[in-house]
Structure 1
Amino acid sequence: MTDPNQPNPGQQPYPNQPYPQQPYPPQQPAKKRKIWPWFVIGIPVLLFGGCTVAMVSAVDSQEETTVSSGSGGDAPAVNSGPDFPGKLAKDTSALAGDTITRDNLAYTVTPLEQGSSIIGDYMCSNVTIKNVGDKQNDFNGYIDWKLQDANGAIRDATYAPDHELLNSGQLAPGGQATGSVCFDAREGAAPGTYVVLFQDTFSLTSDRVAWINTI
């Protein structure tokens, strides 16, 4: 027999109640494309491209290095100039008092002079830099200069209280700057060869120019 209290198959057990609502699955937020990997990759590419352009510009802008003596007249540096202890393959040298011209800047460096003050002994050369090109050019009066002493030690430039030191800045075409570059000589100046060295710190080339002094 069929129990009258049992619902018929397919009949809602409780006809007065609605069917239970099925929960919908939550919507997943749309995934955003990560842009940081492209940013990380793109920056080095741009920097590399900029450096490449700078290197090409530096190579294209280099002029032939010339040397002129006190008697005047520029001429290409013969065999990169006279030898000195520690001279490197790409160095260009001249005697103290001569002018070396490179990249449209003419550098004249006088022979070293010894001096002393309350802070110690030093050696100084007077430097004149002239812009012989037709464009504005930079110069530096401190970090670009060094001295190789008679023992082969290379010293940084230093302060000398009674000298007007060579400053840093820019030169208009035809303009010039003059000042001293000085080096520590607290142990005195033993007889021998002293070389005033110039190397452009911000240049892509490692070439140096040098002025030879014999004391």
Structure 2
Amino acid sequence: MNYPTQPYPSQPPKKKRVWPWFVIPAIILLCGFGGCATILANSDKAAESFQEGAEAGFRGAASEGSDIAPAGSAVRDGKFEFQVTKVEQGEAAVSWNSLVDREAQGVYVLVHVTVTNISDQAQYYFGQNQTLIDEQGREFTNDSIAESYVKDPGAGVGEINPGLKFDTVLVFDVPADAVPTAIEFHDSAFSGGVQVALQ
């Protein structure tokens, strides 16, 4: 049996849902605002952390500055004890035997020191390991050549036996306007060092 073929009626196309044109920008804006709010909140936390860190660093620097021993104190670094006994400032030249002078580029500062070996074995002392510090925070190395002019040549380097001490002079060539405030002593080039005030 043949049935008449009739085309099925086509269904009307479904209507596509159209979003209002302002919805997508609004969503983006809200997300952006939320992101900005999160960034701002994190920024505030970062700023607080930075401020706390800066304050801690400042307190640390202040405490380090207070580690300078008072003038005249006997201080220790490694196997040596150091004590400043006298400071001479403003010397234009130095001389050991009054025949040959060594002139400063600026002026000389002479720091008289007693060095004691506090260990149980012999230890070499080197004047070159010591540093002068002025009120501007500038650091000056010992002028070993000038040092040889104020005492026997080679007296700036020596081996000290346990329990013994000797007197020496450190000579620093500094600008005429420098105001020495401290000296940093080391028992070797690799030691931590200790500072003592000169005033």
TM-score normalised over the length of structure 2: 0.52
Number of equivalent positions: 124
Aligned residue for 2:15? none
1:162 deviates by 5.2
Can you list the C-alpha shifts for 1:103-139, whole angstroms capped at 9, x where unaligned? 3422112343112226132111111111233222222
Cα distance in structure 1, aligned partners of 2:194 and 2:72? 13
Cα distance in structure 2, aligned partners of 1:136 and 1:90? 32
SS in 1 for 2:142: strand
Question: Which runs of 5 or more structure 1 residues have no equivalent in the other structure?
Answer: 1-85
Q: Which residue identity is paired with 2:124?
A: D
Q: Percent of aligned pairs with the same residue?
A: 20
Q: Which residue identity is paired with 1:163?
A: V
Match of 2:113 among 109, 119, 127: 127
Match of 1:174 among 147, 163, 177: 163
Q: Runs of at least 4 residues of structure 1 off by over 6 A? A: none
Kindly indicate whether residue 134 of structure 2 is the aligned counterpart of residue 149 of structure 1: yes
Can you list the C-alpha shifts for 1:68-100, whole angstroms capped at 9, x where unaligned? xxxxxxxxxxxxxxxxxx788499531232111
Kindly indicate whether residue 182 of structure 2 is the aligned counterpart of residue 198 of structure 1: no
Higher RCO, 1 vs 2 (CA within 8 Å, ≥6 residues apart) = 2
Cα distance in structure 1, aligned partners of 2:172 and 2:165? 23
On the 8 A contact 1:93/1:209 being kept in 2, the answer is yes
Cα distance in structure 1, aligned partners of 2:124 and 2:148? 25
What's the C-alpha RMSD, in Å, of the aligned pairs? 2.9
Summarize the Cα distance change of 1:100–1:87 in structure 2 as closer, same or farther, 3 Å threshold: farther
Cα distance in structure 2, aligned partners of 1:154 and 1:140? 17
On the 8 A contact 1:91/1:210 being kept in 2, the answer is no
Cα distance in structure 2, aligned partners of 1:161 and 1:116? 16
Cα distance in structure 2, aligned partners of 1:135 and 1:208? 20
Pairs within 5 Å for 1:33-48? none
Kindly indicate whether residue 83 of structure 2 is the aligned counterpart of residue 108 of structure 1: yes
Cα distance in structure 1, aligned partners of 2:161 and 2:78? 14
Cα distance in structure 1, aligned partners of 2:125 and 2:118? 13
Cα distance in structure 1, aligned partners of 2:86 and 2:65? 23
On the 8 A contact 1:91/1:209 being kept in 2, the answer is no
On the 8 A contact 1:98/1:110 being kept in 2, the answer is no
TM-score normalised over the length of structure 1: 0.48
Pairs within 5 Å for 1:32-71? none
Kindly indicate whether residue 124 of structure 2 is the aligned counterpart of residue 138 of structure 1: yes
Summarize the Cα distance change of 1:88–1:136 in structure 2 as closer, same or farther, 3 Å threshold: farther
On the 8 A contact 1:123/1:184 being kept in 2, the answer is yes
Cα distance in structure 2, aligned partners of 1:170 and 1:89? 31
